Amino acid sequence: MPQLIAGNWKMHGLTTDAVALARGVAAGAAGLASELLLCPPFVHIAAVAQAVLGTSVLVGGQDCHPAKQGAHTGDISAPMLRDAGASWVILGHSERRQNHGETDELVREKVLAAVAAGLTPIVCVGETSDQRASGEETEVVGWQLAGSLPKPFSGVVAYEPVWAIGTGKTATEQDVAVMHAFIREELERQFGTEGETIPLLYGGSVRPANAGSLLALPHVGGALVGGASLKVDEFLAIARAATV
């Protein structure tokens, strides 16, 4: 299975920036061993989907509402994402959990809505620096997995230690290896054989310089990339570091 390199553009860029970035990535995507996914802000999804049409580059959203439609001012539903050209969606990102008070239960409802709309969810889990300092990291991630993933689960899990996101502090190879082994074990415990094949990504200050060693670790099936996904060269360099 090819590794997945997903770019989370967060709240960056106007339409012209988004289209230029998408075109740049698409131009470099041919022949790569990895799969590339771009997750622009909602308003740019249609333009980005159009810009990568006919290439292997995938498009996703950064969040969705659990309801299909309704009185939810400012929210976007999973069918709307699909309609705009997305086939994936990031859910439960730590910035959503922190800034919008998203709980595991809400994330699980969003996963169900995403799958029902034909989107593949990437569900983010990860501990804060305080939780790691007090030795609770595996317990926290275990609870997040149990609470955020519906059974059965059809999607991808991204381990993103909160303290490594946007900070330039990458988790050590040892941290990532230990946590990914724990997540795999936990998924097998919670989901049985289905848990053996759920793809796992690492996210948190992935850069061209550290991508090769992180992507070579056991159970790491790709990367969720924030800052470095906003630069065509850096994102493609990370993608080139991926293994099959």
Is 160 one of the catalytic residues? yes
39: Cβ contacts below 8 Å, ≥ 6 apart: 6, 7, 8, 9, 59, 60, 61, 62, 88, 89, 90
Is 59:38 a contact under the CB 8 Å cutoff?
Answer: yes
Is 139 one of the catalytic residues? no
C-beta closer to ligand PEP: residue 12 or 23: 12
C-beta closer to ligand PEP: residue 94 or 185: 94
Task: Give DSSP secondary structure letters for 58-92.
Answer: EEEES--BSSSSSS-TT--BHHHHHHHT--EEEES
Among 89, 195, 227, 236, which residue interacts with ligand PEP (rule: CB under 6 A)? 227
Does 118 interact with ligand PEP (rule: CB under 6 A)? no
Among 60, 61, 142, 204, which residue interacts with ligand PEP (rule: CB under 6 A)? 204
Among 25, 183, 215, 224, which residue interacts with ligand PEP (rule: CB under 6 A)? 224
CB of 226 to ligand PEP, least distance (A): 2
Q: Which of 218, 113, 198 is nearest to 158 (CA)?
A: 198
Q: Give the number of other Cβ atoms within 10 Å of residue 227's Cβ.
A: 19
Q: Which of residues 14-73 bind ligand PEP (CB under 6 A)?
A: none
Among 28, 226, 234, 238, which residue interacts with ligand PEP (rule: CB under 6 A)? 226
Task: Specify the stretch interacting with ligand PEP by CB under 6 A; choose among 43-51, 126-134, 187-195, 198-206.
Answer: 198-206
CB of 97 to ligand PEP, least distance (A): 12
Does 210 interact with ligand PEP (rule: CB under 6 A)? no
Does 205 interact with ligand PEP (rule: CB under 6 A)? yes
Is 34:66 a contact under the CB 8 Å cutoff?
Answer: no
Between the alpha carbon of residue 38 and those of residues 35, 133, 142, 215, 222, the distances in Å are 10, 33, 28, 18, 14
E-state strands within the chain: 4-8, 35-39, 58-61, 88-91, 120-125, 156-159, 200-203, 222-225
Among 51, 225, 236, 241, which residue interacts with ligand PEP (rule: CB under 6 A)? 225
| Residue, CB closest to ligand PEP | 226
Residues that bind ligand PEP (CB under 6 A): 8, 160, 165-166, 203-206, 224-228
Q: Which residues are catalytic?
A: 93, 160
